[in-house]
Amino acid sequence: MATKWLRGCVRVLPLVLRGTRRWGLLFGAVLVGIVLGAVGSAHGQPQAQQAYRIKVDAVAYYLPGKTALGVPVRMGVVAVDPRLIPLGTRLHVPGYGPSLAADVGTAIKGRIIDLWFPTTAEARDWGRRSVTITVYR
């Protein structure tokens, strides 16, 4: 078996040893299948996002500034308990729309979320509601 020595202490084996050429093609085909399988299904369709639903109390708030992720507050920004819903998670809140879990709050414990609104009047109109949200992983 032919080997090469680099700088006297590291031994490097050649890429293809005797008798392994046929396994190299099979191994390459398996790797390509794994990579393509991670990108989409066998029919070329993207894999569906796994989602789950959870019932929470949604409380409206209005405060200017930035979120815990450093994103400026805007419509669609939601404060969550990161032990329940990780920061950066996409959500859908009925009556509010698509959202991003981008903030935390001192009063946000467990199944309570805060929804940001652009004015205090809109926040008061929402108030506090029990809603079933969809969480996308």
Q: The domain spanning residue 118 has which CATH number? A: 2.40.40.10
Scored b (16 or more CB within 10 A) or e, 81-109 reads beebbeeebbbebeebeebbbbbebeebe
Task: Examine the domain organization and report whether 65 and 85 are in the same domain.
Answer: yes
The residue-averaged pLDDT of 36-56 equals: 67
Share of the chain above pLDDT 90, in %: 59
Residue with tokens 């700088």: 7
Q: Are 20 and 55 in contact (CB under 8 A)?
A: no
Task: Examine the domain organization and report whether 11 and 61 are in the same domain.
Answer: no
Print the domain residue range for 79: 51-136
How far is residue 74's CA from residue 56's CA, in Å, rounded to a whole number? 21
Task: Examine the domain organization and report whether 24 and 83 are in the same domain.
Answer: no
Task: Examine the domain organization and report whether 79 and 35 are in the same domain.
Answer: no
Asked, for residue 123, whether it belongs to a domain, the answer is: yes
pTM exceeds 0.75 for this model: no
Task: Examine the domain organization and report whether 8 and 66 are in the same domain.
Answer: no
Number of domains in the chain: 2
Whether 16 has a pLDDT exceeding 90, the answer reads no
More confident of the two residues 15 and 84: 84
Task: Examine the domain organization and report whether 60 and 11 are in the same domain.
Answer: no
Task: Examine the domain organization and report whether 131 and 99 are in the same domain.
Answer: yes
Task: Examine the domain organization and report whether 34 and 78 are in the same domain.
Answer: no
Strands 128-136, 112-116: parallel, antiparallel or unpaired by DSSP? unpaired
Task: Examine the domain organization and report whether 103 and 61 are in the same domain.
Answer: yes
